[in-house]
Amino acid sequence: MLHHLIRHAAQNGFGEHGFPESGFAPGPLSAPSRRGFLKAIGVGAGALVIGAHLPMPALAAEAAPKIVGPADPRPHAFIIVAPDNTVTVLAKHLDKGQGIVTGLATIAAEELDADWSQVRGAFAPADQKLYANHFFGVQGTGGSTAVANSWDELRMAGAAARAMLVAAAAARWKVPAGEVTVSKGVVRHAASNRSLTFGELAEEAAKLPVPQQVKLKDKKDYVLIGKPDLHRLDHVSKTNGTAIFAMDIRRPGQVTAVLARSPRFGGTVKSVDDAAARKVPGVIDVVSLPVGVAVIAKNTWAAIKGREALTVTWDDAKAETRGTDAMLADYRKAAEKPGDVAAAKGDAEKAIADAKAKGGHVVEGEFVFPYLAHAPMEPLNAVVALNPEGGCTIWAGSQFQTVEQMVAAHILGCKPEQVKIETQWAGGSFGRRATPSADYIAEAVMIAKAYPKAPVHLVWTREDDIKGGRYRPLVLHKITAAVDAKGDLVGWKQRIVGQSFMAGTPFEAVMVKNGVDATMVEGASDMAYPVANLAVDAHTVASPVTTLWWRSVGHTHTAYAKEVMIDRLAKAAGKDPVAFRMEMLRDHPRLAGVLKLAAEKAGWGQPLPQGKGRGVAVHESFNTYVAHVADVSVDAKGQIKVDRVVVAVDCGEVVNPDIVKAQMEGGAGWGIGHALRDEITMTDGKVDQANFDSYLPMRMSDMPAVEVHIVPSHERPTGAGEPGVPTVAPAVANAVFSVTGQPLQTLPFSRGGIVS
Amino acid sequence: MVRINVNGEERQVDVPEDMPLLWVLRDELNMTGTKFGCGIAQCGACTVHVDGTPTRACQTPVSMLTPDSKITTIEGVKGKAAQAVQAAWQKLDVVQCGYCQSGQIMSAIALLTDNQNPTDQDIDAAMDGNVCRCATYVRIRAAIKDAAQTMRA
């Protein structure tokens, strides 16, 4: 879904709501400064880049339907073979923990026949022409697209670079290229018993033309792709404190800024008294901006103390002043009337009435999903330095590079290509670092513009983060569904009420159709269960409270509502929850496949002791198929504990099985953690939570055992970052339902008193 | 001037007395391995050792320390427990985003220094103060057990 809208925005420019036209340059950005870049990634000025002198072939994604990305190999954009025999693979996607730097390097290294020990990863510079996400049209990471998007491009790049090394060796040895082999980073001519390393051939290979056609390996010959014990490239630097995040950037003369923002969403600065703040030792300056009041100081502590000493009066004329209870009451009122149609098949109303009249069962459910913060461990931050020649350099865990370039360019009045981005390891994101307005980057650039004397590090505190919006929306679902007398699902009516985070952004034109934001109904309007009479509609409500995609987006609530309803319907029909689903998934082999695998591995159907429950859920998101079976304990006081989760996942060809496993483990923790206790609530428009003492993260003692089973597949690879989330919470809810008979329809579970 | 001992080296910093050790390390001494996560001792990302005890640097004003307090950060950990923990973390590829892992590792080292055969309950008790939003808890638990085994061997 996401890719349609962003491609549209990239091709057509951002409209009235996004970046003003003056700041947008749809043309290609300039190539990066290679010399500076090579220095930055530490391979030195003497490094040789294969193919670096060649002109860029035009992007041809649409013209090559069988592959994603350009039709011809572009090794020069992605692979650097240095004289020191290292191979650096440039990642155009942000690694925020999902392991994509490792995954992308694996894909290229496989075709290159590099030895894993010589492979390094680095983040590509910001350059839309070289590094656009082919699904988005702009450089950016999201929607679990990275492997799917880079799969062809990096295999071809690796194969082309390999062919060039082979050609260089053949030329030096004066032997036919066909007699030259490559294995584990060594180029050999067996007949004459000669061999050379990649590093020894780099200079000669760089002078050769890039082959326009390459032959890719047979999957049976893979030595890196699919290997279960290939270590992550960041596993050492992230265990000894040397990995550098944006938070760790220290530029000469750098100052730190924190920003006072309106405590109510939509509020603006009315007046500022900064006299006391300016007296705080270490405070350098206080600047008022459209987005708030920035305190600039010698260090973070002084900046925080300075902000505490500020007196800001806010104008709430346009602010949200309702609490979340009042907002929910308004949602319920809206849900009384039909919404904009998202799916309409048959006659759901009649089918449900008929079922009721003829011995079937009707089940009704109202589901409430709270606002949720992403709260990545590394609070949002960015360092911005104005460049002497114009533009700026941004150090950030950048997830939407092209958007950030355009926003920064607009603020500074420069060209987007004058905005350089040094992407850093990101301490989590879960969607938060990719915003259509580049929010925190924009803040940092505005402060740097107001205080041009030194590089500025804008730091969000945790309180800024928890209270700062861009939440998973508050969502209400009302569902009425029926099974007939035979126990077949015959009718399904669903109404969804929530905010659209696409409305009012450059993405609205593509993502909002007939008044319905596709991300609000994904997973509901396209329900896999074959119900002949389906009616899904939606009400889009407006509020100054800012919302955003949040790990697995609409599926966070649609899969939950659907799967909990399915268990209630199975019970009404007198059917086993797995059997009920299996009979409906006959035409969905991959969904049926993960459901069957998870059920088998979990021991579905075996009797459980008193107080133990087992629940299941299955769903497709981001073209990946996942089923969860959860085991829970319910104690005498009705308190629940999740004991074990079994996950089955089908994400096509798996590049790194251990990373897929890690994503499923983390996805389970993410899904359960938020279902247990997390919610953002507001009183009179002010957020009630502030930090991890009130927005309660999953901790070690909450974490169940997680078993992951991957379906072997040679289908095209899809994603793993998000799809591990949607089904885990409903599986837990269904496990509790199996014990208590009470469906859990209001989240978080702590609201129902079953979690302390 | 405040005198502190970090990783065996005496350091002098010109900071207000209420400045937490976290910001002394990160902003004054440029030792960025110790992370800022919450600022209120609720996430453990800033965990260091003070005389061997895991301590939240964000809630430790430098005035609470003496020049004799031995502060150890992720950059300076050494010894049997540290080696075993870091090796286990690498062996099991525990990390995802990695931002919390300095703190996780500091807490795990302190646990295993005292207890080389921790139960699941011991691990819960020692590690519940360290939040990982990527939820790498399954592997943290496994790595602690792996490191404990290494230390017992």
pLDDT tens digits, one per residue of B113-125: 999 999 999 999 9
Residues A399-444 have pLDDT tens digits of 999 999 999 999 999 999 999 999 999 999 999 999 999 999 999 9
Domain boundary residue among A213, A240, A267?
A240
CATH of the domain at A551: 3.30.365.10
Q: Is the reported ipTM for this assembly greater than 0.95?
A: yes
Q: Are residues A431 and A568 in the same domain?
A: no
Q: Are residues B57 and B110 in the same domain?
A: no
Average the pLDDT over A218-224 and give the result.
96
Decide if pLDDT at A383 tops 60.
yes
Cβ atoms A552, A675 nearer than 8 A: no
Domain boundary residue among B52, B72, B92?
B72
Strand partners, A687: A682
Cα A285 to chain centroid distance, Å, stands at 36
First to last CA, chain B: 46
Greater confidence (A138 vs A109) lies with: A109
Please indicate whether, in this complex, the C-beta atoms of B96 and A430 are within 8 angstroms of each other: no
Asked if residue A305 is part of any domain, the answer here is: yes
Q: What integer best gives the mean pLDDT of chain A?
A: 91
Q: Are residues B68 and B84 in the same domain?
A: no
Closest CA to A166 of A124, A119, A201: A201
Candidate from A13-22, A295-304, A572-581, A620-629 with smallest mean pLDDT: A13-22
Residues A668-719 have pLDDT tens digits of 999 999 999 999 999 999 999 999 999 999 999 999 999 999 999 999 999 9
Decide if pLDDT at A102 tops 60.
yes
Please indicate whether, in this complex, the C-beta atoms of B139 and A461 are within 8 angstroms of each other: no
Q: Are residues A175 and A303 in the same domain?
A: no
Domain that holds residue B30: 2-72
Q: Which residues make Cβ contacts (< 8 Å) with residue A179, sequence separation at least 6?
A: A170, A189, A190, A191
Q: Are residues B89 and B126 in the same domain?
A: yes
What CA–CA distances, in Å, run from B109 to B13, B39, B45? 28, 22, 14
Asked if residue A465 is part of any domain, the answer here is: no
Q: Are residues B42 and B89 in the same domain?
A: no
Give A159→chain B minimum CA distance, Å: 28
Give B16→chain A minimum CA distance, Å: 8
Domain boundary residue among A399, A429, A459?
A459
Q: Are residues B105 and B53 in the same domain?
A: no
Q: Are residues A61 and A184 in the same domain?
A: yes
Report the domain count for chain B. Answer: 2
Can you give the pLDDT at residue A16?
A: 33
Question: Chain B: residue nearest A232 by CA?
Answer: B93
Q: Are residues A254 and A363 in the same domain?
A: no
A98 chain-B contacts, CB cut-off 8 A:
96
CATH of the domain at B22: 3.10.20.30
Q: Are residues B90 and B126 in the same domain?
A: yes
Q: Are residues A311 and A335 in the same domain?
A: no
Report the helix count and the strand count for chain B, using DSSP H and E: 5, 5
Q: Are residues A217 and A299 in the same domain?
A: no
Cα B51 to chain centroid distance, Å, stands at 12
d(CA A322, CA A325): 8
Residues B57-99 have pLDDT tens digits of 999 999 999 999 999 999 999 999 999 999 999 999 999 999 9
CATH of the domain at B147: 1.10.150.120
Q: Are residues A24 and A114 in the same domain?
A: yes
Helices A401-412 and A439-450, axial angle in degrees (round to 10): 30
Report the domain count for chain A. Answer: 3
**Which one of B19, B21, B23, B27 makes the best mutation probe of the A interface by having the most chain A beta carbons within 10 Å?**
B27
Decide if pLDDT at A317 tops 50.
yes
Average the pLDDT over A83-98 and give the result.
96
Q: Are residues B67 and B92 in the same domain?
A: no
CA angle A303, A308, A310 (to 5 degrees): 95
Q: Are residues B101 and B67 in the same domain?
A: no
Domain that holds residue A181: 3-240
pTM of the model: 0.93
Give B86→chain A minimum CA distance, Å: 6
**What phi and psi values does residue B72 have, to the nearest 5 degrees?**
-120, 130
Can you give the pLDDT at residue A66?
A: 63
Q: Are residues A504 and A441 in the same domain?
A: no
Asked if residue A332 is part of any domain, the answer here is: yes
CA angle A335, A341, A342 (to 5 degrees): 105
Can you give the pLDDT at residue A136?
A: 85
Q: Is residue B27 less than 8 Å (CB to CB) from chain A?
A: yes
Residues A709-755 have pLDDT tens digits of 999 999 999 999 999 999 999 999 999 999 999 999 999 999 999 99
Q: Are residues B11 and B63 in the same domain?
A: yes
Q: Are residues A271 and A406 in the same domain?
A: yes
Please indicate whether, in this complex, the C-beta atoms of A240 and B86 are within 8 angstroms of each other: yes
Please indicate whether, in this complex, the C-beta atoms of A691 and B40 are within 8 angstroms of each other: yes
Domain boundary residue among A434, A459, A484?
A459
